[in-house]
Amino acid sequence: MPKGIILKGIGGFYYVKTSEGVIECKARGKFRKRDMIPMVGDRVDISIAAHDATKGSIEHIDPRRTQLIRPPVSNVDQAVIVVSVTSPNPNLVLVDKFLVAAENQKLDIILCFNKIDLDESKAYVDLFNIYAGSGYGIVGTSSVTGAGINELRNMLEGKITVFAGASGVGKSSLLNAVDPRFSLQTGEISQKIKRGRHTTRHVELLALKDGSYVVDTPGFSSMDLTNIRKEELQYLFKEFTEHIPLCRFRGCAHTSEPGCSVLEALDKNKISASRYNNYLQFYNQLKDIKEWQR
């Protein structure tokens, strides 16, 4: 029985890449009875139709290592959070929401600061410094000049990587620069509101030349964190981790407690004020959420 990986799903049809090529498949009814829907990224066993070698059925879905809900994709290894340094200007609240969501899924994370060719004053260096203590991979890129593209391409090797970021930050253009075979549609920035038009309509796994995969996802304007408990949030800010055990009181929320090691690190500029202020904003939002709302 051939094995493969689901590249995309449209209208109940799943396109599975196998050693024999891409096979258009339907899922067996048994998955519906189990309330299990195949996802892009699933490793599957399929059967080939007797009358047509290009069509088949999904017979088995391997256990998923990871499973994202938004975008709906499985077995992702890492996330590239794309941030434009200008046009549109970076929204660091949204960036940190993406980071928290990716950390919550236990993904490796790369921060990609894009469109550096448009930032003649090199103000993006300040963005690098904000996240320098986070331990994330950081790369500056331009799909116009090619800056950072080889470095980014090397970071994708051997992985299934999801690209995420707000509309207009240049995800599709970056992917086209990484591998010109993709020929993804790119959108123009609205001069009126300085936002990008949505160009990606569905989630699709794109194969790189070395056998790695990337996921181009529809643009987001918001990110819901309500599934995270306020006590868990501190562990999703990576640069807090070494300081948390040193707090005077167990269960410290790192908001105003005496003897808080995180606040002490903030005072010593070991944690950026931007990151901490966003932590505080998210914490205050999460503490008002009731259990039934999760």
The domains of the chain are located at 3-63, 73-216, 230-293
Cα gap 195→172, rounded to integer Å:
15
Question: Do the beta carbons of residue 133 and residue 272 sit within 8 Å?
Answer: yes
Q: What is the token pair recorded at 55? A: 């069509």
Residues 239, 92, 270: CA angle, nearest 5 degrees:
30
* pTM for this predicted structure: 0.85
pLDDT of residue 187: 52
Amino acid (1-letter code) at residue 129: N
Cα gap 109→114, rounded to integer Å:
15
CATH topology of domain 73-216: Rossmann fold (3.40.50)
User: Which spans in 23-146 are helix H?
Assistant: 29-33, 92-104, 124-131
pLDDT of residue 277: 98
The pLDDT profile of the chain, 294 residues, written as one tens digit per residue, is 899 999 999 999 999 999 989 999 999 989 888 888 999 999 999 999 999 999 999 999 999 999 887 778 999 999 999 999 999 999 999 999 999 989 998 999 999 999 999 998 888 899 999 999 898 999 999 999 999 999 999 999 999 999 888 888 998 899 999 998 887 665 544 344 344 444 445 788 999 977 799 986 654 444 678 889 999 999 999 999 999 999 999 999 999 999 999 999 999 999 999 999 999 999 999 998 877 666
Among 31, 28, 26, smallest CA distance to 9 is for 26
Instruction: Centre a 10 Å sphere on the Cβ of residue 65 and count the other Cβ atoms it contains.
Output: 13
The CATH number assigned to the domain with range 230-293 reads: 1.10.40.50
Among 65, 84, 85, 81, smallest CA distance to 73 is for 65
Cα gap 218→182, rounded to integer Å:
16
Superfamily of domain 3-63: Nucleic acid-binding proteins (2.40.50.140)
pLDDT of residue 185: 61
Which residues 6+ apart lie within 8 Å of 120 measured at CB?
none
Instruction: Centre a 10 Å sphere on the Cβ of residue 157 and count the other Cβ atoms it contains.
Output: 11
pLDDT of residue 291: 76
Amino acid (1-letter code) at residue 12: G
pLDDT of residue 186: 59
